[in-house]
Amino acid sequence: MTNATLDRELQAEYNLTLVVRDQGDLSLAVLKHLTICISDVNDNAPSFEKATYEAAVAENSKAPIFLLTVRATDPDLGFNGEITYSISDSSASGLVSIDPTTGDVFALQAFDYEQVRSLEFLVTAEDGGHPKLASNVSIRLAVLDRNDNAPVIITPVLVGGAATLSVLVNVETGCFWVVPGNGSTQGTAAVTNASLVSCASAPFLFTIVARDVDSGVNGALRYDLVGGDDAGLFTLDPLLGQVFLNASNASSLAGSERELVVRPRIPGG
């Protein structure tokens, strides 16, 4: 008879010595050594080595790609301690898989950072006992951005890859008005939609705004004036995209046409 609960995982066997002694004047005794082995029952669920796992994968990586290995242990014996891994989280279906024996986790498809920046799912470790015992652990997968998107100019509006801006010049004062659009406004009627520009030195003309959906330095833009300004009549702020006329009096430009080529790019690109 035991007087406490036995736990095989704490002590698998006990060595006892049994003494039988008679009640005679010269007491005689016999000793018997006993080894008691504690049989196993499935009383321990698998336990993961970490509370959570984290991994990272670069977007557009060729699938399948190895992400990480999860590992759980079970101190029970035989089938009670044999572990099988699975992913039961429906949100990860078709995106990741796990080797049921080794715990190796793989990405099944390439990720697009602009669509999916992170993924979190549960991995289950289940033993082979009866009844089966199981534990879950969370895996957090971060998708790393790559420079896979070209900048897109959103202002001014482009038609066929170009934008047309008309500048109306007062030949007496040198002041001018900027007319937005792609050449759809013509003649004197354009004045009603025009914006008066200051006659100060290096007067502001317009702003180019581009967007790059990549993240961090991959989406940081600067602007370069790469063509159409051989005479140096224009200046471009490389960070703000603002274009200025490099002259305080624009009367000499009346009737002329300039075709500027501006390129947005990432620094170093």
CB 174 within 8 A of CB 199: yes
Over residues 161-206, the pLDDT tens digits come to: 888 877 776 666 666 667 665 543 333 333 344 454 555 555 778 8
Position 231 scores a pLDDT of 76
Q: What's the mean pLDDT in 92-102?
A: 95
- Rounded to an integer, what distance in angstroms lies between the CA atom of residue 58 and that of residue 143? 6
Position 176 scores a pLDDT of 66
Q: What's the mean pLDDT in 195-219?
A: 75
Q: 1 burial class (0-12, 13-18, 19+ CB within 10 angstroms)?
A: exposed
Please give the domain boundaries of the chain with CATH numbers for all domains.
Answer: 47-144 (2.60.40.60), 152-265 (2.60.40)
Q: Can you give the pTM of this predicted structure?
A: 0.66
Q: What's the mean pLDDT in 109-120?
A: 93
Q: What's the mean pLDDT in 51-64?
A: 95
Over residues 121-143, the pLDDT tens digits come to: 999 999 999 899 999 999 999 99
Indicate if the pLDDT at residue 17 is higher than 80.
Answer: yes
Burial letters 162-171, b for 16+ CB under 10 A, else e: ebbebbbbee
Position 103 scores a pLDDT of 97
Peptide bond just before 100 cis, omega within 30 deg: no
DSSP state letters, 181-226: SSS---GGGGGGG-EEE--SSS-EEEE-EEE--S-GGGT--EEEEE
Q: Residue 168 pairs with which residues in a beta bridge?
A: 177
Percent with pLDDT over 70 in the chain: 84
Indicate if the pLDDT at residue 100 is higher than 90.
Answer: yes
Average pLDDT of the chain, as a whole number:
83
Q: What's the mean pLDDT in 222-242?
A: 87
Q: How many CB atoms lie within 10 A of CB 250?
A: 23
- Rounded to an integer, what distance in angstroms lies between the CA atom of residue 174 and that of residue 101? 80
- The one-letter amino acid at 47: S
Position 215 scores a pLDDT of 84
Q: What's the mean pLDDT in 106-119?
A: 94
Q: What's the mean pLDDT in 95-100?
A: 97
Kind and range of the H or E run holding 21: strand 13-21
Q: Which of 31-45, 47-61, 112-126 has the lowest mean pLDDT?
A: 31-45
